[in-house]
């Protein structure tokens, strides 16, 4: 690899946390000569790989890198996400979904339904209230209580199943359990007789961007909960690796 390219990649890696830093501090952090590093950063700024603040001269990754990375993440969720769902469905024999958060709802972006399923139509693109959806708790498990309160600030908690959370406090209690477990269990919250487990999926920034779900009749899934959780955890970690390019 060309030495100038290698030096530029090293600088981007050092700036990966996104925080703006002075050239002097970055040079000390990397063990590099300040003047040489400054020239490298100037060249990278001209190509919009890094941004240089005019006010104080600090540098950080350019926004276009984040935009490109987000586009790649969205693409991999649709492609590698489907591969993960196929693996989960093959192991569990149940319907499997990939969901994302959109305001106070969740939206399915990929699905794999086994032969013989009685599902009518597709769930892809259809929003559902996050407070009782199959993956809402998993998608919100990294948010603190204040952030969750803001998400549901204008949400009416309507009953969809016998165990639907009655209000925000009820949802937060269930979310606390999901945080401790590392996965969610939705037992007749979305609709009567429906049971699901969901595992959060993190991207290259370590933020939760999606959740993989195993969904089916309570009478069948509840006795197989640990098996379904294990499959979701295994394929969720696989998808995280794909999103991070590992």
Q: In angstroms, what CA-CA distances link 197 with 70, 184, 194, 234, 241?
A: 26, 6, 11, 13, 21
Q: Check pLDDT > 60 for residue 118.
A: yes
pLDDT value of residue 91: 95
Biggest alpha carbon–alpha carbon distance for the chain: 68
Top mean pLDDT of 18-27, 32-41, 93-102 is at 93-102
Distance CA 127, CA 188 (A): 18
Distance CA 99, CA 75 (A): 14
pLDDT value of residue 40: 82
* Average pLDDT for 196-223: 94
Domains and CATH numbers, the chain: 3-61 (1.10.10.10), 69-243 (3.30.450.40)
* Average pLDDT for 140-153: 96
Q: In angstroms, what CA-CA distances link 113 with 93, 118, 184, 213?
A: 9, 9, 20, 12
Please report, rounded to a whole number, the percentage of residues in the chain having pLDDT higher than 70: 86
Distance CA 162, CA 187 (A): 9
Is 5 exposed, middle or buried (CB count within 10 Å of its CB: 0-12, 13-18, 19+)? exposed
Asked whether 99 and 213 are in contact (CB, 8 A), the reply is yes
pTM, rounded to two decimals = 0.74
Q: pLDDT tens for residues 24-64? A: 888 888 888 888 888 887 887 777 777 778 777 787 776 66
User: Which range (16-20, 55-59, 103-107) has the least confidence?
Assistant: 16-20
């Amino acid at each position: 690899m060309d030495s100038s390219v290698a030096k530029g990649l090293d600088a981007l890696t050092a700036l990966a946390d996104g925080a703006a830093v002075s050239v002097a501090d970055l040079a000390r952090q990397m063990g590099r000569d300040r003047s040489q590093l400054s020239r490298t950063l100037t060249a990278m700024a001209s190509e919009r790989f890094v941004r240089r603040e005019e006010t104080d001269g600090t540098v950080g990754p350019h926004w276009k890198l984040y935009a490109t990375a987000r586009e790649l993440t969205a693409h991999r969720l649709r492609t590698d996400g489907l591969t993960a769902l196929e693996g989960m469905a093959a192991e569990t024999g149940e319907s499997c979904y990939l969901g994302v958060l959109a305001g106070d709802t969740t939206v399915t972006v990929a699905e794999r339904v086994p032969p013989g399923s009685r599902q009518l139509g597709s769930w892809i693109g259809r929003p559902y209230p996050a407070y009782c959806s199959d993956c809402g708790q998993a998608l919100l498990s990294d948010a603190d209580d204040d952030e969750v309160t803001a998400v549901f600030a204008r949400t009416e908690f309507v009953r969809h199943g016998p165990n639907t959370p009655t209000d925000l406090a009820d949802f937060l209690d269930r979310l606390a359990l999901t945080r401790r477990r590392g996965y969610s269990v939705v037992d007749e919250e979305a609709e009567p007789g429906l049971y699901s487990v969901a595992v959060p999926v993190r991207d290259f920034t370590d933020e939760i961007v999606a959740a993989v779900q195993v969904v089916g009749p309570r009478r069948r899934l509840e006795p197989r909960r640990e098996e379904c959780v294990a499959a979701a955890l295994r394929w969720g970690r696989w998808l995280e690796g794909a999103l991070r390019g590992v």
